[in-house]
Amino acid sequence: MTDPNAIQPSELDQLPDRDPEETAEWQASLDAVAKAAGPHRAAYLMRRTLERAEGAGIALPKLLETDYVNTIPTAAEPSVPGDEEMEARITAWNRWNAAAMVTRGSKYGVGGHIATFASAAWLYETGFNHFFKGKEADGSGDQLYIQGHASPGIYARAFLDGRLNEHHLDNFRRESGGNGLPSYPHPRRLPWLWEFPTVSMGLGPLSAIYQARFNRYLTNRGIKDVSASHVWAFLGDGEMDEPESTAALALAAREELDNLTFVINCNLQRLDGPVRANFKIVQELEAQFRGAGWNVVKTLWGSAWDELFQLDTTGALVRRLRQVPDAQVQTYQTRDAAYIRQDFFGADPALAEMAKLIGDDKILDCFHFSRGGHEPRKVYAAYKAAVEHKGAPTVILAQTVKGHTLGQGFASKNANHQMKKLSVDEFKAMRDLLGLPIADSAFVDGVVPYAHPGADSPEVRYLQERRAALGGPAPARRVHPVAPLPAPAEKAFASFDKGSGSQNVATTMAFVRLIKDLVRDKETGKRWVPIVPDEARTFGMESLFPSLGIYSPKGQTYEPVDRDQLMYYKEAKNGQILNEGITEAGSMADFIAASTSYATHGEAMIPFYIFYSMFGWQRTADQMWQLGDQLGRGFLVGATAGRTTLTGEGLQHADGHSPVIAATNPAALTYDPAFAYEIATIVKDGLRRMYGEAAPGEDPDVFYYLTVYNEPLPQPAKPSGLGIDEGIVKGLYRFNTAESAELSPAVNAPRIQLLGSGTAIHWVLKAQQLLAEEWGVAADVWSATSWSELRRDALEADEALLRGEERVPYVRQALQGAEGPVLAVSDYMRQVPDQIAQWVEQDYSSLGADGFGLSDTREAARRHFGVDAESIVVAALAQLAKRGEVKATAVKEARERYGL
């Protein structure tokens, strides 16, 4: 009978055994240990042997999971420089004020979180005192991604060092009156303090990885040496459930981002209960990160456990710690010593004997309080190991107690994430535990006081001296005084004014051609950051490969298969293109890092991220919101845009709604340009506004979303006349009239205004011709480059009216005096052009591609949605018939003639 535990032939190493006798001796030794000392001893020896092999650089599969103990033994912990007692007092003040801030705010019902910072206080304080470099340090200082729910603790520290006052703290989560503090890290709301918005779960870790990668990109391209900067991301163990949290772990390891450290606060709790009730989240995360190639440092147990581990001569304690699920660890946190003796130690005879040597106080100290994340010496050892490790990023798995020092009413309770306040008695107990000199008389009318040792106190002087030595306050966001970028040569933009002549050109290709010219600019060309998710050839960008190079920290270690071709695939350490593979989320994280480099590093970079429009806002709108919150600048380009321009692909590729989603983002300027010269004008103005000299009242902290289509179509010359550029930028201008189009309408012909955007302008122009030639109707054609910008302008006019200011919306000014009704046409759902309906004085109607997309030819798809030229004609005649300007029978006749 075959032994089911025997190694099967398929599992054996395929290399021939050069010394079978030696191999047999090793195997016999392992069998002997297992027989004499038991399988646990054999497993222990194997793990130690594998660890030694890994440390020696011997090529073996990695050991994915280690014992549930600290990675750094107590004997190997370095001493902490500085004054540990002083740092403990500073941490106590911060704990108090963080809890006081949220409790005082609870009377307004604005919420807040106490327990998260209580568990993570030493994880932050150790970093602030010894590791986190400020903006005046080498490079650009460090980049800190703070866990959103810990923000009260960061505000408390800023209060201690004098950057915030009591008025600020009392306006936590109450911003409308000024001097308020946002709930979480929001750079747009508090731009001098916060650099990175992190509370959108999962986006913090993803962005941190790409920020560390972008730092390398800047250094390798010679833009700025930021090799001294380190990226720190503080995360919750529950947050690691988000797919974005672990989406780019392999990238970080593959590119050896040793300038990156994740600090995961493993307090074992989510919002509703345990993170892994029946399992062990620390072990799961260790295997996940080690498998991805990260350096893992576990900081689990505090010094009170040292005595227990010394008594564990049989390994029974270590085995039991591996067995106990996380939810039971939480239960120990709330139970007495007798319960722990019975449930934990009673599970193994060797542990039961050990427990006889330990007093109840020691057991409670270990199981209630002593966690590695609560002891500065152990946190310091982990951080030091992280910054000194080379060749891979590091994750620190720090075990803590959620609600630590807030009392047994908070610690490890399932509901503590929703608990917003402490009672006065609980605060007094906390005061006594922390040893803070706060008198009972300070609690006036039951209101908990803020506490401060004084601006000239030893604690504040120590805090400020430590920060000065590390390069200034942190966290901090600073927009360095950078001269506006010079405008690129006019030639790059003007070349589109004359149109494409007899050649049909897609606006996707027009945009790429513009970029090719702009990246050659001597002053600003190197600052462009092309980003594409493995679709460069789809968008005609392969010609940029050999000239700009694709960024790779290893350069090109192989001979490309297309080496003999003109547009060969070229990777380079100083490459300019970020070709991310099939990851829209990763590409957006790239974009965010590049778009905020003007603040993070004092280096203005101009990213453009080009993607299938259907796979942009629909998939990563949360990151677009993050981009706006972080005050990013640059160009998002939705290619193959519109519901009917991408032939044969079907509903999952047919974008009829991205401008609707984009319109919800206050920082996004959304354009659907119809012609190549419009793209050039919009990009030129965007460069001026974001990187040059913004006009008074213009916010430079915006980003542009341009939709471009892949359908080769005639690109006309730019019309002459005043106001064309202004109209393109503001969102609407008259492209032609029936007369200027030489359609020779009758003197008293019925007239209609046709508004079109993007690819729809071409069907509108065909409809204009049909209306004139077959129905005797004069149509003027308008290009609506941005429905949403027209709407925003109109909303601002409405707001001005409420203030008593008279202001006419631009859309009304532009259409003033235009004869006849208005018919708006878009390749998007009608909701897009209908954004402006209430501000148009003329009769208004619209056509759009509502519903799911479908696979077919462009012509069939447009007929299906009723947006082709013939459908436009019928809709126009129907509008005119309502007004009595054409016969009602004309509408029926047109339907029959065009097969509608």
pLDDT in tens, 574-608: 999 999 999 999 999 999 999 999 999 999 999 99
**Run of H or E residues at 265:** strand 260-266
Name the strands in the sheet holding 231-236, side by side, starting at the edge strand that comes first in the sequence.
143-145, 231-236, 260-266, 394-399, 295-299
- Nearest 5°: phi and psi at 267? -90, 5
Helix (H, G, I), strand (E, B) or coil at 215: helix
- What residues have CB less than 8 Å from 33, skipping those under 6 apart? 41, 42, 45
With beta carbons less than 8 A apart as the criterion, state whether 555 and 593 touch.
no
Q: What pLDDT shows up at residue 5?
A: 46
DSSP codes of every residue in 315-373: SHHHHHHHHS-HHHHHHHHHS-HHHHHHHTGGGSHHHHHHHTTS-HHHHHIIIII-BGG
Looking at residue 78, what DSSP letter applies? P
State pLDDT tens for residues 301-359: 999 999 999 999 889 999 999 999 999 999 998 899 999 999 999 999 999 999 999 99
Q: How far apart are the first and last CA of the chain?
A: 76
Helices (H) and strands (E) in the chain, counts: 34, 20
Burial label for 61, CB within 10 Å (0-12, 13-18, 19+), is exposed
Contacts of 37 (CB under 8 A, 6+ apart): none
Q: Which of 34-43, 152-161, 380-389 has the lowest mean pLDDT?
A: 34-43
d(CA 718, CA 510): 14
CA 122 – CA 120 distance, rounded (Å): 6
Q: What is the mean pLDDT of residues 426-447?
A: 94
Is the predicted pLDDT of residue 88 greater than 60, yes or no?
yes
Q: How many angstroms from the chain centroid is the CA of residue 640? A: 24
The mean of the pLDDT values for the chain is 93
Nearest of 895, 754, 761, 766 to residue 827 by alpha carbon: 761
For residue 486, which of 684, 705, 637, 678 has the smallest C-alpha distance? 684
Phi, psi of 202 (to 5 degrees): 95, -25
pLDDT at 335: 93
Residues 6+ apart with CB under 8 A from 816: 841
At residue 272, the pLDDT reads 83
CA dihedral (95, 98, 99, 100) in degrees, to 10, reads 120
- My answer on whether omega of the bond before 533 falls inside 30° of 0, hence cis, is no
**Residue length, the chain?**
900
Banded model confidence at residue 417, pLDDT cuts 50, 70, 90? low
pLDDT tens, 848-899?
Answer: 999 998 899 999 999 999 999 999 999 999 999 999 999 999 999 999 999 9
Instruction: Quick: pLDDT tens for 716-759.
Output: 999 988 899 999 999 999 999 999 998 888 888 999 999 999 99
Between 735 and 47, residue with greater pLDDT:
735
Output DSSP code: residue 750: -
- Asked whether residue 419 carries a pLDDT value surpassing 70, the answer given is no
**Residue 350: is it exposed, middle or buried by C-beta count within 10 angstroms (0-12/13-18/19+)?**
middle
Letter string b/e over residues 426-455, b meaning 16 or more CB atoms within 10 A of that residue's CB: bbebbbeebebebeeeebeeeebbbbbbee
| 3-state secondary structure (DSSP) of residue 398 | strand
pLDDT band at 414 (very low <50, low <70, confident <90, very high): low
pLDDT score, position 39: 82
**Residue 1 CB: number of other CB atoms within 10 A?**
3
Percent of the chain past pLDDT 90, that is, above it, reads 81
